[in-house]
Amino acid sequence: MRKLTVTTDDLPDHLDDRTRFNLWREAFCDWLGATDLAHLDPGPFRGRWDFAAVRDLLLVRFRGSMHSIIRTAEQVTALPQARYFLSFNLAAAEFVFSQSGRDEAIAGGRALLFSGTEPFACRGAQSWASIGIPLSMLQRLVPDIDGLTGSALDGAAPMLMHLNHYVGMLLEPGGLTDDPILTEHVEATVCDLVALALRSAGDTVAVARLRGLRGTRCGEVLRAIGQGFADPALSVQIIAAKIGVSASYVQQLLRETGVNFSERVLELRLQKARRMLADRRNDHLKVSDIALACGFNEASYFNRCFRRRYGDVPLRHRGGD
């Protein structure tokens, strides 16, 4: 077990701000490898790093000025970190994390899992804690780990919150000792908590992604209906085939909106018919022609639906009246 704390409070007062930042950056790179860091706050740089290596685990915490952390492809190639990092945003403000072409805003109190084997950028970080877990170890503990990387996790979830508090306690003065048995116990405990937290978070992420997918699919269904409602032959089966899902799935999505397929199509057809009736450019058309143009096969059915919806016969809505 190794532990180090670096704080600008311990540096001599005569050092200028650039020198203070560079000393702090050197300590970071000594532990985590070559990394580009930049001070983003306009005022003097202030910060405290707490590092701890517990057997194969790496614990890091920073509290202080806003900064950015960027690890380039060249730096990763030179010294790859065969780890996953589970990081917690301990500040009130969000930071933006980028990896594999994806940007994720991590709000205060939330967490993030990312890979140390790929380049990344973190901008706007101010106060955070991170756990570095060997890749092979975490893949054994959480088989579907790749599905969780790059997504914001709810730091207020019980397991993640407990893990955060436990790591914070370990990084406080006296939180770790050199006792081999205790060190082994700490490593096992952190790994178990990480596995439990990520498995629990995996359910939440899966649900969120499912909701996102369902929302996208529902949007596709509504657009397809909006484009084809005037076709008398339009059906759930046609919509399903168009977007590549089953008819039952389309019906389920529409039920969740509170308006089923038939109701939605009828409403769109009636709205179009009313607009056409009110447009003087259509005065030359018969009501039956307008009904047909809007998807109604029978004029009598159109008249009944129109009167029920608008309280009057279609003729009363003609633009010339």
Query: Rounded to whole angstroms, how far apart are CA atoms 89 and 108?
Result: 5
The string of pLDDT tens digits covering residues 157-181 is 888 899 999 999 999 888 887 778 7
Q: Rounded to whole angstroms, how far apart are CA atoms 151 and 144?
A: 14
Q: What's the pLDDT at 321?
A: 45
The CATH fold assigned to 263-317 is: Arc Repressor Mutant, subunit A (1.10.10)
pLDDT digits (tens, 9 = 90+) for 78-136: 887 788 999 999 999 999 999 988 889 999 999 999 998 899 999 999 999 999 999 88
Note every long-range contact of 75-81, with CB atoms under 8 Å and residues 24 or more positions apart, other chains counting: 75/33, 75/34, 75/35, 75/36, 75/119, 76/116, 76/117, 76/118, 76/119, 78/33, 78/34, 79/33, 79/34, 80/116, 80/117, 81/32, 81/33, 81/116, 81/117, 81/132
Q: What is the CATH number of domain 2-210?
A: 2.60.120.10
The answer to whether domain 2-210 and domain 263-317 are alike in fold is no
Express each pLDDT in 66-92 by its tens digit. Answer: 999 999 999 988 887 788 999 999 999
Tokens 């950015």 correspond to: 68
Q: Which of 50, 45, 25, 199 is nearest to 129 (CA)?
A: 50
pLDDT digits (tens, 9 = 90+) for 261-270: 999 999 999 9
Q: What letter would DSSP give residue 246?
A: -
The separation between the first and the last C-alpha atoms of the chain, rounded to the nearest angstrom, is 89
Domain locations along the chain: 2-210, 263-317
Average pLDDT over residues 283-293: 93
- The pTM score is 0.63
Model pLDDT for residues 15-52, shown as the tens digit of each residue: 888 888 888 888 888 888 889 999 998 888 898 989 99
For residue 305, the surrounding DSSP H or E stretch is helix 299-310
